[in-house]
Amino acid sequence: IAGITQAPTSQILAAGRRMTLRCTQDMRHNAMYWYRQDLGLGLRLIHYSNTAGTTGKGEVPDGYSVSRANTDDFPLTLASAVPSQTSVYFCASRTDRGTDTQYFGPGTRLTVL
């Protein structure tokens, strides 16, 4: 593979359930990001990681947590899902070449009922 993979592709989840969205990259990029995309609100940053072992909060972190045990994987966890977390979630990584460009995965479409 080349790039970023995300799993699952889509998921319907009952409110209150716990859910982990998976993200794996094979580009060995240090920085990784999680975004949600909602109609009318665009792409909003949830959490970021500058390098393995470190994470930070973005614009809309409430209700989400992340971990970065190694360079390749950056899972996003919803501890207790709520309907307002219905969205499309994108994982991204940033090149280390100094151009600030980010590369996105195919997304996970999540519906919380």
Partner 1 sequence: QKEVEQDPGPLSVPEGAIVSLNCTYSNSAFQYFMWYRQYSRKGPELLMYTYSSGNKEDGRFTAQVDKSSKYISLFIRDSQPSDSATYLCAMSSSVNAGGTSYGKLTFGQGTILTVHP
Decide if residue 62 touches partner 1 (CB under 8 A). no
Q: Counting contacts by CB under 8 A, is residue 65 touching partner 1?
A: no
The three-class DSSP label of residue 34 is: strand
Instruction: Tell me: does residue 74 bind partner 1 (CB under 8 A).
Output: no
By CB atoms closer than 10 A (0-12, 13-18, 19+), residue 84 is: exposed
How far apart CA 65 and CA 33 sit, in angstroms, is 12
**Could you say whether residue 31 binds partner 1 (CB under 8 A)?**
yes
Q: Which is nearer to partner 1, 1 or 14 (CB)?
A: 1
- 43: contact with partner 1 by CB under 8 A: yes
